[in-house]
Structure 1
Amino acid sequence: MDFIRLTRQFTFETAHALLNYDGPCKNIHGHSYKLQVTIIGQPITDVSDPKYGMVLDFGDLKKVVNTFIVEPLDHALILRLGSSPELITLLQQLNHKVVLTPYQPTCEHMLLDFKNTLTQHLPATIKLHSLRLWETENSFAEWHASDND
Structure 2
Amino acid sequence: MQIRLYKEVSFDASHRLLHYRGKCHNLHGHRWKVEIWITGRTDDQTNILVDYNEIKQAVNKYDHQIILNQDDPMVPRIEEFHPVIKTPGDPTSELLAELIRDSIESAYAPSGRDIRVETIRVWESPSCYAELTHEDR
Q: TM-score range by the shorter chain?
A: 0.7 to 0.9
Give the drift of 1:15.
Answer: 0.5
1:7 maps to: 6
Aligned-pair distance for 1:62?
2.1
Counterpart pick for 2:118 among 129, 135, 141: 129
Q: CA RMSD in A?
A: 1.9
**Percentage of pairs with the same residue:** 28
Is the CA contact (8 Å cut-off) linking 1:75 and 1:97 kept in structure 2? Answer: no
Alignment of 1:1-149 (within 5 A): 3-43=2-42, 46=44, 49=45, 51-52=46-47, 54-56=48-50, 60-63=51-54, 65-71=55-61, 73-84=62-73, 87-94=74-81, 96-122=82-108, 123-125=111-113, 126-148=115-137
Q: Tell me the distance in 2 between the aligned counterparts of 1:43 and 1:81.
A: 37
8 Å contact kept, 1:14–1:30? yes
Is the CA contact 1:80–1:103 (under 8 Å) kept in the aligned structure 2?
yes
TM-score normalised over the length of structure 1: 0.79
AA in 2 matched with 1:14: A
> Alignment length, in residue pairs?
134
Unaligned runs of 5+ in 2: none
Moved over 4 A (4+): none
| 1:13–1:30 CA contact under 8 A, matched in 2 | yes
Instruction: Give the letter for the 1:139 counterpart.
Output: C
- TM-score scaled by structure 2? 0.85
Give yes or no for contact 2:123–2:130 (8 Å, CA) kept in 1.
yes
Contact 1:8 1:62 in 2 (8 A): no
C-alpha distance in structure 1 between counterparts of 2:57 and 2:36, whole Å: 14
| Larger strand percent | 2
Q: Which runs of 5+ in 1 are unaligned?
A: none
Deviations 1:74-131 (A, max 9, x none): 11111112212xx33332222x131111211111111111222221012432222111
